[in-house]
Amino acid sequence: MTQKEIASTVEDICTSYTIDDIKEAGQMVHVILEENGFTTRTYEIDKITPKQVHFKDDIYFRGLYSKKIDQGHLFNQKLKVGRTSGRGVKTFYISAYALILEKDVEKVKEFFTEEGKKEIQDRINQLQKQLDVLS
């Protein structure tokens, strides 16, 4: 699969889910790219209402801890890799997250890996330009 095919496939992942897909799966997987690699955690679905998906445990999603997530947020996730400032002034790393069905975990990890590499290279290029100015 080419990088372009991977990107288009991943972009379609969250927008292609239906509520029936989620009901049938009975769970969703939270994939997180952090400073030290990938973390995945499976969340069991408690119930589904016309507007929300309720999980058995709290989940950190879109900046909040909650057991329920609006269906609109689940179906309109923008899977992108971003830059994060860490605990110290000199700490910098790439981060990303997605709440997806288990069948898509490897595709999303591959996408995050490739996009993460691009972001890191962009950061290196920016720092090299600054180094060149200072030299």
pLDDT given for residue 8 in this prediction: 57
pLDDT given for residue 90 in this prediction: 65
- Alpha helix stretches (DSSP H) within 17-91: 19-25, 71-75
Per-residue pLDDT tens over the stretch 30-40: 999 988 899 99
Percent pLDDT > 70 in the chain is 83
Tokens coding 76: 């309109």
Per-residue pLDDT tens over the stretch 47-64: 999 999 999 999 988 788
CA distances from 109 to 69, 73, 98 (A): 22, 20, 10
For residue 127, count other CB atoms closer than 10 A to its CB: 11
Task: Return the sign of the alpha-carbon dihedral for residues 115, 109, 97, 16.
Answer: positive
Contact 19, 48 (CB under 8 A): yes
CA distances from 62 to 1, 34, 105, 118, 123 (A): 30, 15, 19, 23, 25
Contact 29, 101 (CB under 8 A): yes
**What's the CA gap between 47 and 70, in Å, rounded?**
12
pLDDT given for residue 40 in this prediction: 96
Show the low-confidence residues of the chain (pLDDT under 70). Answer: 1-11, 14-15, 84-90
pLDDT given for residue 102 in this prediction: 94
Ranges of each domain in the chain: 3-134
